[in-house]
Amino acid sequence: MSTTASPVQQRVELDAIVIGAGFSGMYQLLSLRDKLGMKVKVLEAGDGVGGTWYWNRYPGARCDSESHSYMFYFSKEMVNEWTWTERYPQQPEILRYLNHVADRFELRRDIQLNTRVDSASYDQASQRWHVRTQDGQHFVAQFLITGVGCLSTANVPNIPGLNDFKGQWIHTGQWPHGGVDFSGKRVGVIGTGSTGIQTIPVVAAQAQHLTVFQRTANYSIPARNAPLSDAFKRYAKEHAEGIRYIMNTNTNAHPFRMVERSVLATHPAEREAIMEAAWIKGGLEFRAAFKDTLADAQANKVVADFIRKKIHQVVKDPAVAHLLSDIDHPFAAKRPPVDSNYFETFNRDNVSLVNIRATPIERITAEGIQTQDQVYPLDIIIFATGFDAMTGSLLKIDIQGRDGVKLKDSWAAGPINYLGLQVPGFPNMFTITGPGSPSVLCNLPPAIEQHVDWITDCIRTLRDTGVSTIEATEPASQSWCEEVNRAANASLLGQVKHSWYLGANVPGKPQVFMPYAGGFGKYSEICREVAADNYRGFALGA
Ligand code: N01
């Protein structure tokens, strides 16, 4: 009998390892390789580039940032070359764009697909990160940069009996590449966040019957999606610099500014007209019609009541309208969805709404979903139940810093870091759009560009000045966490205790407000000042 030993994997020596080939990982590769001449490899679990937009292929998947803002701006040439077709890009179009980026900058030769990173550990003696993959490969580099995405680890709730279900169940973030045929099927959707609200109208149009299981009613603003006119396409290219400036200097990195106008100081008839106009225009800009919507509970109630009234105008059955508008949190204190015919969908004969706050789901049976008072027979269950956001994808990797300290232990009480960029005890590791940065409160591409540019400038400075390690200090990290907390509590964002911004959607997750709510423009300014002040709050080592 002969035995075959598994082949000994050679270790691959690099300057930097980047995890993830979405917007973040690809721009980080391009920056370090082409601007600094470094030897870089991107390790990506999927068999294509695109990150979030590679995995989230559910019907109706579309970005809720406007297309002319949901792109890279670092290359003027690419801004001029690429033309979006609709006001909000659909998932396939965004994936085409990201593949175009990969081809245009010849990124593929340094991206290794189908490679899931298992662990990363820092060796203090050699000042190197050792990264090991699920299939036993070993990479070594001075710098480790994570671009793992903020919303990439699917959260499938632990409902008893899921394995008994005879039909098909799918999480929206792990959608089958071949698609799903809903025709003639009884479909159930659990979840009415941004994803549920996008997918429900599309599934309803195909399924024999759709049952929506709603735990928390949600606000939604009409997206008013439409093909882009030639005039707008021209405008977006001709004004690219101005659009970029607005995004980089405002609160949420969107291509519009918040209007300096208070809800309460505006005459009721006038503010009604303003909200009506913003509703007709549609999209996330609705949130920017007044400056105090998220700052003042009374102001927020005026805007929230306007949306509730709209829901009652659209939904014909008053009992269903009541259920959909019985919303328990201030408007925009949880991520506000935008939609295409979400509320209208509940006027269809083949759609029903189940209030699982009143009659919770007890279990999943072979036949379908059993709530406290009824069984709903189903062929397909869609979990639009969100993600283990911001920290989930980082903590899935066994990351060990100095002295073998594990990231999961370091973050046992919530993510501690400095500027959302570095964790104390983890030298030369950077987290693109990590917790503690504005990230998910922003239109993400500008936030990613800002992080990647900062990290690239930082590494360039280290190399130019002969510094080999950089590490966030404990005191700077502690005071940054206090600032993150302060910023959340300065607005209504800090008042909602059951949001994924705090990790409240994942059982056992420490509840700490994770993104930085002080505003993207202000945050970028802080990052610039810190770098200019010889990387204040970071320890630099020879
Ligand atoms: O996830 P969510 P999402 N039983 O966590 C419900 C981004 N995004 O995928 O509120 C029953 O917001 C849960 O109910 P509740 C965007 O940032 C962007 O929709 O916990 N229900 C909620 O209704 C967004 O915010 C785009 O009571 C359960 C829903 O599932 C983020 O992704 C498009 C449950 C989860 O909502 C996440 O959105 C789509 C349970 N056990 C998403 N567990 C763009 O366009 C959870 N729920 C860029």
Give the model confidence (pLDDT) of 219-231 as tens digits. 999 999 999 999 9
CB-ligand 1 contact for 154 (6 Å cutoff): no
| Rounded distance from Cα 360 to ligand 1 centre (Å) | 17
CB-ligand 1 contact for 193 (6 Å cutoff): yes
Smallest CA separation from ligand 1 atom 45, residue: 63
Strand partners, 120: 131, 399
pLDDT in the model for residue 512: 94
E strands, 92-185, in order: 111-112, 117-123, 128-133, 138-146, 168-171
What superfamily in CATH does domain 12-49+107-153+389-536 come from? FAD/NAD(P)-binding domain (3.50.50.60)
**Model confidence band, residue 3 (pLDDT cutoffs 50, 70, 90):** very low
Smallest CA separation from ligand 1 atom 29, residue: 191
Tens digits of residue pLDDT in 27-37? 999 999 999 99
Contact 363, 161 (CB under 8 A): yes
pLDDT in the model for residue 98: 98
Sorted by where each begins, the domain ranges of the chain are 12-49+107-153+389-536
Mean pLDDT of 135-150: 97
Q: What is the pTM of this model?
A: 0.96
Report whether pLDDT(264) > 70. Answer: yes
Q: How many residues does the chain have?
A: 542
Report whether pLDDT(195) > 60. Answer: yes
User: What type of residue is 332?
Assistant: A
CA separation for the pair 75, 68 (Å, rounded): 14
Instruction: For ligand 1, pick from 88, 195, 334 the residue to mutate: most ligand atoms within 8 Å of CB.
Output: 195
Instruction: For ligand 1, pick from 63, 194, 342, 383 the residue to mutate: most ligand atoms within 8 Å of CB.
Output: 194
CB-ligand 1 contact for 195 (6 Å cutoff): yes
E strands, 5-127, in order: 11-19, 40-43, 111-112, 117-123
Contact 387, 400 (CB under 8 A): no
CA separation for the pair 127, 151 (Å, rounded): 31
CB-ligand 1 contact for 212 (6 Å cutoff): no
| Rounded distance from Cα 396 to ligand 1 centre (Å) | 20
The counts of H helices and E strands in the chain are: 16, 20
Instruction: For ligand 1, pick from 71, 152, 192, 215 the residue to mutate: most ligand atoms within 8 Å of CB.
Output: 215
CB-ligand 1 contact for 191 (6 Å cutoff): yes
**pLDDT over 70 for what percent of the chain?**
99
CA separation for the pair 300, 313 (Å, rounded): 20
pLDDT in the model for residue 23: 98
User: What type of residue is 252?
Assistant: N
DSSP state of 361: E
Contact 510, 413 (CB under 8 A): yes
Q: Which of these, 492, 497, 535, 499, lies nearest to 517 by C-alpha position? A: 492
CA separation for the pair 497, 486 (Å, rounded): 15
CB-ligand 1 contact for 494 (6 Å cutoff): no
CA separation for the pair 95, 51 (Å, rounded): 9
**Model confidence band, residue 248 (pLDDT cutoffs 50, 70, 90):** very high
Mean pLDDT of 204-229: 98
**Model confidence band, residue 6 (pLDDT cutoffs 50, 70, 90):** low
